[in-house]
Amino acid sequence: MRWYGSMALAAAVLVLGALVTLGVSSVITGKERRSAQLAIQRQSDLAAAAVAGEVRRYVDTIDNVAAALGSHDTLSPQAFERATSRIPALAGATALVFVVPADGPGVTAAQAAWRAAGAAGLTFKPAEGIQEHYFGVYARQLDGDAPLDGGSDLGDNPDLADVMRQARLSGHAAVSNAALIAGGQRRTLSLATPVTGADGALRGWVVLGLRGEGFFDGALGEVLHRRVTATLAATQTGGGLLPIATVHRLAVPGDALRRSKDIGIAQRVWHLEVTADPRDLPGAYTDRPLVATAAGAALTVLVTLLVYLLSTRRSKAMTLVHEATRELRAAEREARDQAALQQAILTSLGEGVTVVGADGRVLLHNPAARQLLGTAGDPDTLEDWPAHYGAYLPDRATPFPAAELPMVKALRGVSVDRVEMVIRNPTHPDGILVSVSARPLDRSGGGPRGAVAVLHDITALRRYETELAQFAAVVAHDLKSPLTAVHGFAAVAADALSADAAQVAPRRPDTAKVAVERVRQGAIRMRSIIDDLLAYTTARDAPLNLTDVDLRAVVESVVADRTALAPPMQLAKASTVALPPTPRIHIGDLPHIKADPGLLRLVVDNLIGNAIKYTPAGQTPNIEVTALSDPDCVILVVADRGIGIPDGHKARVFESFYRARPADYGGTGLGLAICRRIVERHGGSIAVEDNPGGGTRFCVSLPTASRTTEPDPIAALRTYGPSADAGWERLMRPSDVNAS
Ligand code: ADP
């Protein structure tokens, strides 16, 4: 991964981290918002329930008092005292008053009756201008203020008159409207419940005066969360709501949470409003979103850095791995190329290469070694090599001693050079002569890990060497006799031509003439030998120049030369100069062929020359030169009526220097060897047979299409001599050269 890949990955992680952080933060915020809403709702419900519950408790209290008061036929001050002595603490309550109704004329009677019941000194003080009068008879002060004045007319207060009217009508407790008193400083309200006698008749009311703040504080002071503000509003005379108390008055921020709730109180509906700063509510508006955002951002940055570092490291590591892999691949490719090259070298080597391991098992034969050894499969041990491959000493009879095998010596750490051995087996039935050199492999580690041997086929080389030796011997021998003759006859001529002191003419001119003729014949003989040697070399080594050749023209040219050539070589043996009869040569139809014209002429010249030469002395050579055509080849036939070749010699007349009748006719024994070499280089063959009716017939078969047997330059290095002769093994034994 490159650097921009790492950057992209890091950026992706950063964006993802930021999104997750924002998501988590918004989830927490949402949760807190919901939690705040729930909290304010809970506070609101709690406050409403507390107010309603507290009012109920107050109502129950005055109902109990009313019931207790109603149970007395005559309500004495003591009875009132007893009935109200055990009322529970009622926060905000100012006084509990027993109120009775009285109308115009009945006021005095009522006053008298209550005085009679025990309220001594009770004086009803009817307010003016009102129809209904409500007089307080007994009162219990609850807030420690001065006791109420008995006999006051509460009908003077419209709110009180109204609540009592409501209570009388409903038969149950009622609550008054709220009112401001003390110059607007206080909010008051009252609860009133009817007092009925045993007969069900209304006897009065129990009225409980309340101060708004006190009541509300008492109801909510302990219940409401101290950071929540609650305001209670009650109905007021004239319509609308009058706030009667506020608990926990706090500064209210713009985003404050609010809840309003209506509370049914007796026949009226109060209104409760709850407000709170969301930050003050438990579980709401905490620092958690901020903390989560900060932590998420920090974590995101950290993870991003880590991812970037890791990915760049990974990218560097990957780059290193890629480079190492590339180098390894290159090294492997180079090693493979090297191996292939070595394999190719081994395969194309003309020399055989064989490698064995330390245990003597064959590890490798290149194709040349396999071809030289000639057998498929390899023996398990080196001891079996001589028998398996057919290895013999150069005497061709004694099996090669296993202990002397070059490979065995090399495994012992000894280098061996040019050991000759004969390999003879079904692949090489005539045997080949092989030169073997062997070396130990890797001697540094204490002992050879194996050995390598190089096998070189020296069969042809040895044949060539032998041939050269024979060649030298023949040249020396054959050149010596004409040279001796030239030397001797030259002396005779000189002697015959020398004049004595008294005479001016030569003494013996005839003798000198014969001697000079002999000198000339000796020179001809030597030239013949040298020509043959040159022709032999040309036939072997001259490059082929294949062109279209008119065979008839070649034959006619040779015949013309041969018949003009006088005296023939037999003159060397003749004691007198006598011209031989002119040969009769019949030339048949001869085609054009593809051949080297110079070399082809050599073949024709040798065959016609032999046909003339090997005719008995004095007999006219009778020769036919014809041709047989075939789609694939042309067969040139040279037939004579000469002395013929005995059957025992026919197989060998094509060998170099072989002569069937060396004593009777001059020659080098190279002519037919030259012919065979040239014909074979053209891809053809040559054979000899008896000419029916007497004489000899040579058949030269040449392919019509060019099919030369020219060797490739490398193979030519190994093929030093002419093609294999049937009796080549004789040539491998230099001692036999002279015998042949
Ligand atoms: P050369 O003629 O110099 O001896 P060649 O190689 O031409 O050598 O011939 C080899 C031998 O073959 C000759 O010595 C001869 O005995 C025999 N020979 C060749 N041609 C004929 C022939 N036409 N008739 C009889 N013998 C022949």
Biggest alpha carbon–alpha carbon distance for the chain: 238
Cα 518 to averaged position of ligand 1 atoms, centre (Å):
24
Secondary structure (3-state) at 140: strand
Q: Please tell me if the CB atom of residue 660 comes closer than 6 angstroms to any atom of ligand 1.
A: yes
Give the pairing of strands 241-247 and 133-141.
unpaired
Q: What is the dihedral of CA 397, 398, 400, 404, to 10 degrees?
A: -140
Q: Please tell me if the CB atom of residue 452 comes closer than 6 angstroms to any atom of ligand 1.
A: no
Q: Please tell me if the CB atom of residue 653 comes closer than 6 angstroms to any atom of ligand 1.
A: yes
CA-nearest residue for atom 17, ligand 1, is 660
What's the mean pLDDT in 96-118?
88
Rounded CA-CA distance 142/454 in Å is: 138
What's the mean pLDDT in 327-336?
92
Q: Please tell me if the CB atom of residue 668 comes closer than 6 angstroms to any atom of ligand 1.
A: yes
Confidence of residue 740 (pLDDT cuts 50, 70, 90): very low
Which pLDDT value is given to residue 575? 44
Cα 730 to averaged position of ligand 1 atoms, centre (Å):
21
Q: What are the structure tokens assigned to 266, written together?
A: 């007796």
Q: What is the pLDDT of residues 390-419, one digit of tens each?
A: 999 999 999 999 999 999 999 988 999 999
- Reported as half-sphere exposure (CB side, CA atoms, 13 A), residue 400 has a value of 28
Is pLDDT of 371 > 60? yes
Pick the range with the lowest mean pLDDT from 41-45, 74-78, 184-188, 436-440. 184-188
Counting ligand 1 atoms within 8 A of each CB, the residue from 478, 641, 672 with the most, and so the one to mutate, is: 672
Closest ligand 1 atom, residue 698 Cα = 23
CA-nearest residue for atom 16, ligand 1, is 660
Is pLDDT of 738 > 70? no
Which pLDDT value is given to residue 609? 93
Rounded CA-CA distance 428/405 in Å is: 20
Rounded CA-CA distance 637/247 in Å is: 151
Which pLDDT value is given to residue 593? 93
Q: Please tell me if the CB atom of residue 654 comes closer than 6 angstroms to any atom of ligand 1.
A: no
Confidence of residue 463 (pLDDT cuts 50, 70, 90): confident
Q: Which residue has the higher pLDDT, 303 or 580?
A: 303
Nearest to 620 by CA among 585, 587, 582, 586: 582
CA-nearest residue for atom 23, ligand 1, is 611
Cα 642 to averaged position of ligand 1 atoms, centre (Å):
11
Which pLDDT value is given to residue 728? 27
Cα 659 to averaged position of ligand 1 atoms, centre (Å):
6
Rounded CA-CA distance 344/348 in Å is: 6
Which pLDDT value is given to residue 444? 65
Q: Which residue has the higher pLDDT, 525 or 165?
A: 165
Is pLDDT of 632 > 50? yes
Nearest to 396 by CA among 437, 432, 358: 432
User: What ranges in 498-550 are assigned the alpha helix state H?
Assistant: 509-541
Confidence of residue 443 (pLDDT cuts 50, 70, 90): low
Is pLDDT of 17 > 50? yes
Which pLDDT value is given to residue 446? 63
CB 349 within 8 A of CB 399: no
Counting ligand 1 atoms within 8 A of each CB, the residue from 525, 659, 665 with the most, and so the one to mutate, is: 659
CA-nearest residue for atom 19, ligand 1, is 610
Q: What are the structure tokens assigned to 710, written together?
A: 């020219």
Which pLDDT value is given to residue 706? 56
Which pLDDT value is given to residue 567? 45
What's the mean pLDDT in 265-291?
84
Which pLDDT value is given to residue 31? 87
Is pLDDT of 149 > 90? no
| Full-model pTM | 0.44
Q: Please tell me if the CB atom of residue 645 comes closer than 6 angstroms to any atom of ligand 1.
A: yes
Cα–chain-centroid distance for residue 408? 47
Contacts of residues 256-264 at CB distance under 8 Å and 24 or more positions apart, as own/partner, are 257/36, 257/37, 257/40, 257/281, 258/40, 259/40, 259/41, 259/43, 259/44, 260/44, 261/44, 261/45, 261/47, 261/48, 263/48, 263/51, 263/52, 264/52
CA-nearest residue for atom 15, ligand 1, is 660
What's the mean pLDDT in 318-345?
90
Rounded CA-CA distance 94/147 in Å is: 10
CB 209 within 8 A of CB 99: no
Cα 672 to averaged position of ligand 1 atoms, centre (Å):
7
Closest ligand 1 atom, residue 662 Cα = 14
Cα 681 to averaged position of ligand 1 atoms, centre (Å):
21
Averaged confidence pLDDT in the chain = 85
Is pLDDT of 713 > 70? no
Rounded CA-CA distance 35/578 in Å is: 154
Is pLDDT of 429 > 50? yes
What crossing angle do the helices spanning 459-497 and 509-541 adopt, rounded to 10°? 160
> Which residues, including other chains, have CB under 8 Å from residue 270's CB and lie 6 or more apart?
51, 232, 233, 234, 235, 262, 263
Q: Percent of the chain having pLDDT more than 90? A: 42
Which pLDDT value is given to residue 732? 28
Cα 532 to averaged position of ligand 1 atoms, centre (Å):
13
Which pLDDT value is given to residue 181? 83
Q: What are the structure tokens assigned to 286, written together?
A: 């905490």
What's the mean pLDDT in 428-435?
93
What's the mean pLDDT in 663-677?
86
- Cis previous bond, 567, omega within 30: yes
Is pLDDT of 339 > 60? yes
Rounded CA-CA distance 623/602 in Å is: 18
CB 700 within 8 A of CB 554: no
Is pLDDT of 730 > 70? no
Cα 691 to averaged position of ligand 1 atoms, centre (Å):
15
Cα 611 to averaged position of ligand 1 atoms, centre (Å):
8
Q: Percent of the chain having pLDDT more than 70? A: 90
CB 158 within 8 A of CB 216: no
Is pLDDT of 141 > 60? yes
Q: Please tell me if the CB atom of residue 672 comes closer than 6 angstroms to any atom of ligand 1.
A: yes
Q: Please tell me if the CB atom of residue 110 comes closer than 6 angstroms to any atom of ligand 1.
A: no
Which pLDDT value is given to residue 723? 34
Closest ligand 1 atom, residue 606 Cα = 7
Q: What is the pLDDT of residues 33-62, one digit of tens each?
A: 888 888 889 889 999 999 999 999 999 999
Provide the edge-to-edge strand list for the sheet that holds 432-441: 362-365, 352-357, 450-457, 432-441, 416-423, 391-392
Q: What is the DSSP string of 352-379?
A: EEEEEETTS-EEEE-HHHHHHH--SS--
> Which residues, including other chains, have CB under 8 Å from residue 702's CB and lie 6 or more apart?
593, 595, 633, 634, 635, 636, 679, 682, 683, 684
In this structure, what are the phi and psi dihedrals at residue 164, rounded to the nearest 5 degrees? -70, -35
Closest ligand 1 atom, residue 654 Cα = 6
